[in-house]
Amino acid sequence: MEDAAVEEAEVSGAGEFAPALVAAHPLGHSVAVAVGPELRVFDLNGGCAVSLSDDSGGCSHSDAIRAISFSADGALFASAGDDKLVKIWKTDSWRCIQTITSEKRVSAVAISKDGLYVTFADKFGVIWLVTVGEHGEGQVSSDNKPVSIYGHYCSIITSMKFSPDGRFIATADRDFKIRVTSFPKDPVKGAPQIQSFCLGHTEFVSSIAFTSLSGGSSFLLSGGGDSTVCTYSV
């Protein structure tokens, strides 16, 4: 019943159209744009569009892309969406090295600071993790299945980000809250623990981002449906 309710909600109202998504390479090499099921990349150094290739043996995105993300060093890029696919790309060649199939539609995606793991959230608020391999080099075996690490109890995850030091992962949802969770050194075997909840919004949280100041202080910023921006000290 819950699955059917979520599916009905997604095909009516705000769920009918996916917003255009933009992500900039952390070193300024390129810009990625997702419009519906199409992923487009522009090389800022060469001043030209990039041709994408797929070595993963998986399908191209066939439905709206809902989340895109670069890794901290810009070596990897992930895209995911309503077609239940998560695709991992190497940005030096812009070829897809791995395609993961989710059981549910994917609403958020993030890459760990070390580039060893990709996390993604489905429409029921479950956060999944898949191992990429060191720096995303080479083909990943087909038996590398996603592992669920924690969840938001049926609340749709709207945004997911790793902290600048890689120690925490923040997840925002439609129930007005942000959860900050410790990210174990071995997340496949370790148990993520809640570090804190960031409360302050009175409507859904739509986006979150970490920022660091020159003095070493870090903050978590969030924006939501209540037309406010909140700042939290990390």
Q: Where are the domains of the chain?
A: 2-201
pTM of the predicted protein model: 0.85
Q: What residues have CB less than 8 Å from 106, skipping those under 6 apart?
A: 66, 67, 80, 81, 82, 84, 85, 86, 120, 121, 122, 123
Instruction: Return the CATH fold of 2-201.
Output: Methylamine Dehydrogenase; Chain H (2.130.10)
Q: What residues have CB less than 8 Å from 130, skipping those under 6 apart?
A: 86, 98, 100, 117, 118, 120, 144, 145, 146, 147
DSSP-derived letter for residue 135 is: G
Question: What would you report as the CA-atom Rg of the chain, rounded to the nearest whole angstrom?
Answer: 17
Q: Give, for all 234 residues of the chain, the pLDDT tens digit.
A: 344 444 444 443 444 566 799 999 999 999 999 999 999 999 999 999 999 998 777 778 999 999 999 999 999 999 999 999 999 999 999 999 999 999 999 999 999 999 999 999 998 999 999 999 544 444 444 457 899 999 988 889 999 999 999 999 999 999 999 999 999 888 888 778 899 999 999 999 999 999 887 777 789 999 999 999 999 987
